[in-house]
A = this chain, B = another copy of it.
Amino acid sequence: MSGGLLTDLYEVTMAASYLRRGMTGPATFSLFVRKLPPDRGFLIAAGLEDCLSFVEDYRFSQEDLDYLAVEQGLDDASLRAFERLRFTGEVRAVPEGRVVYPGEPLLEVTAPIAEAQLVETVLLNHVTFQTTVATKAARCVRAAAGARVIDFSFRRTQGVDAAMAVARASYLAGFAGTSNVEGARRYGIPATGTMAHSYVEAFPGEGEAFAAFAADFPDRTTLLVDTYDTIAGVEAAIRTARRAGLPSLAGIRLDSGDLGDLAVKARSILDEAGMTGTLIVASGGLDEHRIADLAAAGAPIDVYGVGTKMGVSADAPYLDSAYKLVAYADRPVMKLSTGKITAPCAKQVYRGADGDVVALRDEPAPDGMEPLLVPVMEAGRRVAGPDPLDAVRERCAAEIAALPDRITRLRAPESRPVRLSARLRRTRDRLYAELAAGHRAAGAGPLKER
B-contacting 9-mer, from A175-183, A271-279, A290-298, A382-390: A175-183
State which size class the interface on A falls in: 35 or more
Complex: chain B residue closest to A447, CB-CB: B229
Query: Is A205 within 8 A of B335, CB to CB?
Result: no
Which chain B residues border A199 with CB–CB below 8 Å?
14, 17
Complex: chain B residue closest to A196, CB-CB: B10
Query: Is B155 within 8 A of A8, CB to CB?
Result: yes
Complex: chain B residue closest to A186, CB-CB: B5
A159-B159, A229-B445, A229-B447 are known contacts. Are A181 and B257 too (CB-CB below 8 A)? no
Cα-based distance from A232 to B154 in the complex (angstroms): 49
Q: Does A236 contact B (CB under 8 A)?
A: yes
B-contacting 9-mer, from A90-98, A161-169, A358-366: A161-169
Which chain B residues border A321 with CB–CB below 8 Å?
155-156
Which chain B residues border A185 with CB–CB below 8 Å?
5, 64, 67, 71
Complex: chain B residue closest to A323, CB-CB: B155
Query: Is A27 within 8 A of B202, CB to CB?
Result: yes
**When the two chains form the complex, which single residue of B117, B160, B338 contacts A161, counting CB atoms closer than 8 Å?**
B160
B-contacting 9-mer, from A393-401, A404-412, A434-442: A434-442
Interchain nearest-CB distance for A269 vs B (Å): 12
A128-B155, A128-B156, A154-B125 are known contacts. Are A227 and B162 too (CB-CB below 8 A)? no
Chain A 223-236: CB-based contact to B (< 8 A → 1; otherwise 0)? 00011110110011
Which chain B residues border A246 with CB–CB below 8 Å?
none
Which chain B residues border A155 with CB–CB below 8 Å?
8, 120-121, 124-125, 128, 321, 323
Copies in the complex: 2
Q: Does A264 contact B (CB under 8 A)?
A: no
Interchain nearest-CB distance for A376 vs B (Å): 20
Q: Does A110 contact B (CB under 8 A)?
A: no
Q: Does A420 contact B (CB under 8 A)?
A: no
Cα-based distance from A1 to B154 in the complex (angstroms): 14
A125-B157, A202-B23, A321-B156 are known contacts. Are A192 and B9 too (CB-CB below 8 A)? yes
Interchain nearest-CB distance for A93 vs B (Å): 17
From A3, A193, A194, name the one whose CB has the most chain B CB atoms within 10 angstroms: A193
Query: Is B257 within 8 A of A337, CB to CB?
Result: yes
Q: Does A122 contact B (CB under 8 A)?
A: yes
Cα-based distance from A199 to B216 in the complex (angstroms): 63
Interchain nearest-CB distance for A44 vs B (Å): 16
**When the two chains form the complex, which single residue of B126, B132, B194 contacts A10, counting CB atoms closer than 8 Å?**
B194
Q: Does A353 contact B (CB under 8 A)?
A: no
Q: Does A430 contact B (CB under 8 A)?
A: no
Q: List residues 290-336 of chain A with CB under 8 A from any CB of chain B.
A: 308-309, 312-314, 317-319, 321, 323-325, 328, 333-336
Query: Is B125 within 8 A of A1, CB to CB?
Result: no
**When the two chains form the complex, which single residue of B14, B163, B201, B446 contacts A335, counting CB atoms closer than 8 Å?**
B201
Query: Is B8 within 8 A of A154, CB to CB?
Result: yes
Which chain B residues border A147 with CB–CB below 8 Å?
none
Q: Does A368 contact B (CB under 8 A)?
A: no
Interchain nearest-CB distance for A387 vs B (Å): 20
Complex: chain B residue closest to A180, CB-CB: B8
Which chain B residues border A212 with CB–CB below 8 Å?
17, 21
Cα-based distance from A133 to B157 in the complex (angstroms): 12
Q: Does A426 contact B (CB under 8 A)?
A: no
List 12 A–B pairs whose Cβ atoms lie within 8 Å, in order of A's numbering. Answer: A5-B181, A7-B154, A7-B181, A14-B195, A126-B159, A201-B325, A202-B325, A227-B337, A229-B439, A229-B447, A256-B339, A308-B318
Of all A-B residue pairs in the complex, the 5 with the closest CB atoms, nearest first, are A9-B193, A232-B444, A10-B193, A158-B158, A198-B325
